[in-house]
Structure formats: structure tokens, C-alpha cells
Structure 1
Amino acid sequence: MGLFRKGYQAMFGRNKWKILRGDKVMVMAGKDAGQVGTVTKVIRDVRFPRVLVEGLNLNKRFLKRTKDNPGGIVSVESPLHYSNVKLVDPQTGQPVRVTWRFLEDGTKVRAAAGQQWCNATGAGL
């Protein structure tokens, strides 16, 4: 770190990631706002955390011609910022904020933040 350079703080701790690979998420901002897709990759960068969502945020790229590839223009998925997606509740289909909770037996599960939590059923996301 230089004398005048500002240090970056992580968005959240190392084990606090709330959106994981395979989750259904809704895009909240950008050209694909309101669309639902599945997370294929989570890029855990401290400065710019991103997620790759299947079939969303497509950009055109040009591929050079090779022996195996004829080349041309193809659509490629680009990553979205972590803050621009929200997890979709499987029961309601609505986007929700997520928090980590502990069940009575001590297991850690994700739950929708701000909703009633039932320890008896242990309904998590």
C-alpha cells in the first residue's frame, strides 16, 4: 500500500457469501432487470465481486477463424455485479434478501431476511 492509496475493504467476510453456484437469482438492475436465471459461477473478488448468470447479460464477441472454429460473432455471458442480483424464494418466486441462521441442532442454513423463522420446520432457502 502506498502512502496516499486508499485501502479496499471487502464487501463482506470470507464465509459470508449469500449467493452460491446453482442458485436461482433475479437481476435487479441493467438491461436484463427482472429476469431469472441460474448462477453458473461466483467470482469472489474483494474489490469487484461478480456472478455469472446462465443466459443473461449477453454481449457480442468476435472469434478469430481457426482450424476447428469457423469464427464469427457469438454471444457470450458477461458477469454481473454481486449487488445487482437477489436470490429468488422457491416458494413465492419473489426476490428476497438472505441471511444465515442456525437451526436447533446447530446446522447453518440460509433464510429470507425479515420473515418469520420457524425452528420447528427449519425451512431454509
Structure 2
Amino acid sequence: MAKIKKGDLVQVISGATQARGGDRGKQGKVIEVLTERNRVVVEGVNYVTKHVKVGQTQRGTKTGGIETHEAPIHISNVALVDPKTKKPTRVGHKVETVEKDGVKKQVRVRYAKKSGENL
């Protein structure tokens, strides 16, 4: 079961610090999860410049040039942020019984473990 999903608030926990031009400590929402490559794309983190060949659309407007967008980073380099404390935390799962239309079903639910000072 995936610990990080699209739309989660995560924090970068490894890499160069922001003082050295890196992204460690930055928080952002997950835009996309690439499960087959174990990577996530986080909003505002790991910006790269991409040179796009100049082209023309149907209307005649020019496209291309230098674009910046977020690149994927490995899922082990981010941690889920606890919504209460706004600190990175570990994720746990617990089984809860949910009743829908008179049918009881057991589902695994994510929850944020207690976030400590050492994370």
C-alpha cells in the first residue's frame, strides 16, 4: 500500500540545504506519483530547466524556448507532513470497519504517527 499519495503534503528530508541552493526542508503538495519508478513530483521542489524546440501551433503562435518545471524525486527522500504539527512524520496503517449500504467492510486507513523532535 502506498504511503504517499497524490495531493499529500510532504517535506524533503534529504539533499542539499536551502542555504546551499538545495531543496531540503521545503514542503509542497504531491502533483504526481510514479509508482513503477518509486518517484514523486512535488510542487515547488526540484525545478529543472528544459530547452524546448521552437515550433508553431495551428493558430500561428510560437512555442518553445526555455521552460522550468518540477522533476521527479525519489520517494525515500520525502516524508509525509503531520497535518496537526506541520512536521514530517512516519505513516501507519490500521484496519477499520466501515459500513456502507448495510454492508460492513474492513478497510486499511492511513494515519500519521506521532511526529517527534528527531525527525
Task: Identify whether the pair has TM-score above 0.5, normalized to the shorter chain.
Answer: yes
The share of aligned pairs that are identical, in percent, is 40
SS of the aligned residue for 1:87 comes to strand
Following TM superposition, where does structure 1 have runs of at least 4 consecutive aligned residues deviating by more than 3 angstroms? 104-107
Query: 19-28 or 62-71: which moved more?
Result: 62-71
Q: Distance in 2 between matches of 1:70 and 1:50?
A: 29
TM-score with structure 1 length normalisation?
0.71
RMSD: 1.5
Q: Is structure 2 residue 72 aligned with structure 1 residue 72?
A: no
Q: Does 1:88 align with 2:81?
A: yes
The AA in structure 2 aligned to 1:102 is V
Matched, 1:19 2:4: yes
- The structure that is strand-richer by fraction is 2
Which ranges in structure 1 are unaligned for 5 or more consecutive residues? Answer: 1-15, 116-125
> What is the aligned partner in structure 1 of residue 25 from structure 2?
34
Partner of 2:108: 108
* TM-score, normalised via structure 2 length: 0.74
- Listed as ranges, the gaps of 5+ residues in structure 2 are 16-21, 99-105, 115-119
Amino acid at match of 1:89: D
Q: How many Å apart are 1:74 and its aligned residue?
A: 1.1
Amino acid at match of 1:55: G
User: In the comparison of the two structures, how many residue pairs are matched?
Assistant: 97
